[in-house]
Structure 1
Amino acid sequence: MKKLLTAGLFAALFSLPALAALDAGDVAPEFRTQASLAGKAFDFSLKDALKKGPVVVYFYPSAYTNGCNIQAHTFAENIDKFAAAGASIVGVSLDSIARLNKFSADPDYCAGKLVVASDASGKIAKSYALTVRDAVAGRKDSKGEDLDHGFAERTTFIVTPDGKIAATIGGVTPTANVEQALAVVQGLATKK
């Protein structure tokens, strides 16, 4: 019973709505960081990515945790639909780049299709006015490994090429988060 209660508390904690997050119309803070695609690290710049079209910047608590696994997999499954709408996607977490190299290449999650970026200090998440929580002692991921880093709240921002936030999505399930992000970018594509 205690394990069930603890699991429920963690689930509630990671699905809380974004109360103070930046909102539509706000300027999205520029960031540069190490990211990974298909297991290969590279330098990611939001400014550079926006030159190609809208960017879905989604913050998630941690690679290899239940909701995050579902969200990454759902984004990867729908990557072609986002690309057809002219949008790219970057997931941001407080995971190390080494951990993200594994996650980005994992065929069950990012499947080599989804860019994930490291915000090990939480600085990027905080610049988007997201809550960053400290690591929880003894918490393990879905592979049984210790989670030794903090967690940003699950919130997605759709950023337009002018650097403004078109929409902020939080407080929904990981799958609904992806579905809502796709609807926003498809709406932006039809407005062109």
Structure 2
Amino acid sequence: MKRIFLGAGTLLAVLIGVWFFIPAHAALKPGDKAPEFTAQASLGGKVFTFSLADALKRGPVVLYFYPAAFTKGCTIEAHDFAEAIERYHALGATVIGVSHDDIATLKRFSVSECRSKFPVAADTDGQIMKSYHAVLPMQTKYANRVSYVITPDDRVLYEYSSLNPDQHVANTLTALQKWHATQKAGGAQ
């Protein structure tokens, strides 16, 4: 009996582990129009209304979705974005994180984990997640870990989906650098 129980537990752990590292696929692809949104957000513990349209007037936007503030992977990802924020700014980009968390939670998260470097927005009703097809399968209250790069013409330049937080910053920076190079060279995109 003990052997069967351990076998079932091991199988469950493997399945969960495999599910964690299988990349989810966001429905919005390069070239798609990015859905407009406004949301309550916090930067350095201060609440304001974030508007995607307003941010895009200043340059490209890196919009990243994450499951929940203060969880291990989301904390790692927030730290990574905070450490890279000057590189995003050098490319003229704004970074915004979005989760289902309420604004009170995000006020704390924006200070401690985002290090007051970039805002995080509250999507408590899940409408932004749904419009970006960034809902976590089987746990629809939560966002999937999806990162988008959106150009000032309201188009998705790049999307990356993986519950593993490790490559979101590197991949979005690479996409922005390539886009920025084409802009400097006079290319259209």
Question: Aligned pair in 2 of structure 1 residues 118, 156: CA closer, same or farther (>3 Å)?
Answer: same
Contact map agreement 2:45 2:108 (CA 8 A) in 1: yes
CA separation in 2, counterparts of 1:12 and 1:31? 33
- Asked if structure 2 preserves the Cα contact closer than 8 Å seen for 1:24 and 1:166, the reply is yes
Contact 1:39-1:104 at 8 Å conserved across structures: yes
Structure 2 residues not aligned, in runs of 5+: 1-5, 184-189
% identical equivalent positions: 44
Is 2:127 aligned against 1:123? yes
- Structure with higher helix content: 2
Count of aligned pairs:
176
User: What is residue 99 of structure 2 aligned with on the other side?
Assistant: 93
Number of the residue aligned with 1:164: 155
Pick the aligned partner of 1:30 from 14, 28, 36: 36
CA deviation vs aligned residue, 1:4-53 (integer Å, no higher than 9, x gap): x66982x6555542324211000000000000000111000000000000
Report the equivalent of 1:143. none
CA RMSD, 1 decimal: 2.3
Task: State TM-score, norm by structure 2.
Answer: 0.84
Q: Is residue 15–residue 153 contact of structure 1 (8 Å, CA) maintained in 2?
A: no
Output the CA distance in 2 between the equivalents of 1:90 and 1:68: 13
- List 4+ stretches of structure 1 deviating above 3 A: 5-8, 11-16, 132-135
Q: Which has the larger radius of gyration?
A: 2
Change (3 A) 1:134 1:32: farther
Gap regions ≥5 residues in structure 1: 136-148
Judge conservation of contact 1:18–1:130 (CA < 8 Å) in 2.
Answer: no
The structural deviation recorded for 1:171 is 2.3
- SS of 2:178 mapped into structure 1: helix
